[in-house]
């Protein structure tokens, strides 16, 4: 893993800043197993993955109680999975070409986001944000020469409200929209198996799932003890 970070502060103000982060990661994993059923099988999975992260943020304080932020985040990943199944045939292991496959899964996510927060009369505070996210997924089946891709764009708002009852008690109310993308295993149409009766097959047409989360919290300080609850 390699990482590069840049941080620029303007006018000696630590709150007025520009940051840039770059990260590259590469990993490899090999898994081999021997299944001793009525017909012995050899299963091998070799995975190679590369991930690139690029993120930049600009934060601008406005007055004493307000702050504006804008940024970009890009996540680019590629996963190469080589899966092979061999079964015993008259004492020799033979490759099962109907199941063995090589999958190259790519996922590119580009996000632009902005948020503004402020505090009013030292009692009420708010943070409003919006993120636009563009996702491109491609599934390249080298073995079967089958290629599929999917693109989708989503908007994800964030709202956080806070109210200080007194120096020891405060209330928080938050809302945000989230996305959960299917992993490569769940969209790989080729079946994989850990035994003759334990099979798994993905569906390349699976769409991401979206959720809306609302959170209400209450904080109270009793001397040296703090109670923080949420629902």
Strand pairing of 2-10 and 92-95? unpaired
- Residues 56-81 have pLDDT tens digits of 999 999 988 999 999 999 999 999 98
Under the banding of pLDDT at 50, 70 and 90, the label for residue 36 is: confident
Supply the pLDDT for residue 99: 78
Give the span between the Cα atoms of 7 and 206, in whole angstroms: 40
Share of the chain above pLDDT 90, in %: 60
Torsion sign across C-alpha atoms 190, 194, 196, 200: negative
Mean pLDDT computed over 178-183: 91
> If you average pLDDT over each of 31-35, 155-159, 185-189, 196-200, which comes out highest?
155-159
Give the span between the Cα atoms of 222 and 216, in whole angstroms: 20
Averaged confidence pLDDT in the chain: 91
- Residues 75-116 have pLDDT tens digits of 999 999 898 889 888 888 898 887 788 889 999 999 999 999
Q: Check whether 44 has a pLDDT greater than 80.
A: yes
The maximal CA–CA distance of the chain, rounded, in angstroms, is 83
Which one has a higher pLDDT value, 33 or 158? 158
Strand pairing of 169-180 and 192-195? unpaired
Q: Check whether 12 has a pLDDT greater than 90.
A: no
Supply the pLDDT for residue 191: 76
Structure tokens at 190: 């080729």
User: CB of 211 within 8 A of CB of 177?
Assistant: yes
DSSP annotation of 191:
-
- Residues 183-214 have pLDDT tens digits of 888 888 777 776 667 788 888 888 999 999 99
Query: Using DSSP, how many helices (H) and how many strands (E) does the chain show?
Result: 1, 13
Supply the pLDDT for residue 223: 84
Under the banding of pLDDT at 50, 70 and 90, the label for residue 35 is: confident
C-alpha separations of 207 from 29, 78, 101, 108, 179 in Å: 27, 19, 23, 15, 10
Mean pLDDT computed over 134-139: 92
């Amino acid at each position: 893993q390699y990482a590069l970070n840049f941080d620029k502060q303007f006018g000696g103000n630590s709150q007025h800043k520009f940051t840039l982060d770059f990260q590259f990661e590469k990993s490899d994993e090999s898994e081999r197993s021997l299944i001793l059923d009525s017909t012995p099988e050899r299963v091998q999975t070799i995975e190679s993955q590369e991930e690139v992260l690029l993120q930049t943020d600009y934060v601008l304080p406005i007055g004493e109680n307000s702050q504006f932020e804008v940024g970009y985040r890009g996540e680019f990943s590629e996963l190469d999975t080589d899966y092979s199944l061999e079964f015993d045939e008259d004492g020799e292991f033979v490759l099962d070409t109907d199941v063995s496959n090589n999958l190259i899964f790519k996922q590119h996510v580009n996000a632009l986001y902005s948020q503004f927060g402020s505090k009013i009369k030292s009692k009420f505070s708010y943070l409003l944000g919006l993120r636009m996210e563009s996702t491109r997924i491609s599934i390249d089946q080298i073995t079967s020469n089958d290629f599929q891709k999917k693109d989708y764009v989503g908007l994800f708002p964030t709202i956080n409200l806070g109210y200080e009852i007194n120096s020891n008690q405060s209330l928080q109310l938050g809302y945000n929209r989230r996305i959960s993308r299917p992993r490569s295993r769940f969209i790989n149409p080729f079946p994989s198996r850990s035994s003759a009766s334990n099979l798994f097959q993905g569906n390349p047409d699976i769409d991401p799932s979206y959720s809306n989360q609302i959170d209400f919290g209450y904080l109270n300080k009793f001397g040296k003890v703090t109670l923080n609850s949420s629902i």
